[in-house]
Amino acid sequence: MFNRSLDSRVKNLIVIFSVLISVADSMFAQSDSTAVDSLLVKQLEQQMQAAAPPTPAPQAAPRSAPTTNPDLSAIGDFRTLYTSEGKRNVELYFNQLEMQLTSVVDPYARANFLFSFGKDSVNGDFSAGLEEATLTSIDLPYQLQATIGKFKPHFTKVNTLHPHAFSFVDFPTMLTRYFSDEGLFMEGVSASWLVPNPADFYQELDIEIGRSEANHSLDQGNANRLLYVGHLKNFFELTDNATVELGLSGLSGVNSEQFSTTMAGVDVTYKWKPVQFNTFQSFTWQSEGLLCKTTTSSAAAVQTYGAYSFLEYQIAERTFLGARYDYSALPGNKSTEDRVSSLLVRFQPTEFQILALEFQHNDRSYGANVNQVVLRAIFAIGTHGAHAY
């Protein structure tokens, strides 16, 4: 009986051991199939990566479409002045603010509006005015360009500039004596033609017709008499480092006496800017002259003239030295003469900020000589276009 119970126990152990072996075999078999499957998956992934095209390099974000908002800029002019004339010799004042809006109207034209807020030299109050308002074509054939509105005509080289864009603190005396503190303005039509020429010779003809803004020489008139202005610009490239520009101007309009005033002008500009050191060195010599015939009655006319010449040398990347001499009579008055000598130091960190110190001596035929020192600070914000060459 004891043997039978032993045999039954042995049989039970054998059965249990067999079950354990079968379970272990199944587990090992499952483990082996998982490993095989993992190897197959890895091989498929490697083959797919080899067959797939290479991932392209990241591209820059596309440029946004042009904005329909106009470009806006503001330019401030602050001055500190000492003068030897009068009882009030020292002044610190904000001279002028210019605000400009420019934009493309459509594929055929662009518009420009320029407003000034200036200080009146008599009462010291600020007043606002519209200096320019123009519509200019940009898609005319035969290298033509047309402008309508209010603008500064192409009489002499400097007149088209605004004071902040001129090298010296003040405009040449001949422009301030014959026109106004900022030159000549007119309302009308301007046509410009770029004359076809060889690559080293640039020539541009400007014809302008309209009515002059009232100034020392010209008036709007009370009849159908208009202002006619013409300018021929000739530009020569002498070398890679030097250029010469020769301009011829003519003007005819009505004066405050309701008779005619005619003017002829010539300008010469030499510029040297070496290619190798163009940010550190430059030299400019510029001269202009005008001859004016003012008819004061049906039997009388007076001829006067004015001229200036200046030199400017860049001694460092941001520093310029300049000297200028002016001579000017008054329209219709030969006896009133100004002979002005000026010295200038200009520090220009960027196109958006300029500091200029100018000494000036005025030898006058109509009174005592005057000396003055002016420190001017120009600062600009917003879109700032390049100045004319």
pLDDT at 76: 95
Determine the pLDDT at residue 119. 79
367 lies in some domain: yes
User: Would you state the structure tokens that stand for residue 226, as one six-digit string?
Assistant: 């208009």
Q: Is residue 205 part of a domain?
A: yes
CB 173 within 8 A of CB 158: no
Please tell me the predicted confidence (pLDDT) of residue 228. 97
Measure Cα distances from 176 to 91, 216, 218 in Å.
Answer: 21, 9, 13
Range of the domain at 244: 135-382
- Supply the pLDDT for residue 53: 56
Phi then psi for 257, rounded to 5 degrees? -85, 0
How far is it, in rounded angstroms, from Cα 321 to Cα 342? 11
Q: Is residue 297 part of a domain?
A: yes
Residues making up the chain, counted from first to last:
389
Tell me 385's DSSP state.
P
* 50 in any annotated domain: no
Cα angle 214, 216, 220 (rounded to 5 degrees) comes to 25
Residue type, 223: A
Could you write out the DSSP letters of every residue in 213-235? PP-SS----SSS--EEEEEEEEE
Give me the CATH number covering residue 305. 2.40.160.10
Give per-residue burial for 62-91: e unless 16+ CB within 10 Å, then b: eeeeeeeebeebebbbebebebeeeeeeee
Total domains, the chain: 1
Q: Decide if 254 is inside a domain.
A: yes
Q: Can you give the pLDDT of all 389 residues of the chain as single tens digits?
A: 444 444 555 455 455 545 444 544 544 444 444 444 455 556 556 655 655 555 555 554 444 444 568 899 999 999 999 999 988 999 999 999 999 999 999 889 999 999 999 877 667 778 889 999 999 998 899 889 999 999 999 999 999 999 889 999 999 999 999 999 999 999 999 999 999 887 778 999 999 999 999 999 999 878 888 999 999 999 999 999 999 999 999 999 999 989 999 999 999 999 999 988 778 899 999 999 999 999 988 888 999 999 999 999 999 999 999 999 999 999 989 899 999 999 999 999 988 999 999 999 999 999 899 999 999 999 999 876 555 55
Greatest extent of the chain over all pairs of C-alpha atoms, in Å: 167
Q: Is residue 89 part of a domain?
A: no
pTM: 0.79
pLDDT the model gives residue 206: 97
Q: Provide the pLDDT for residue 276.
A: 82
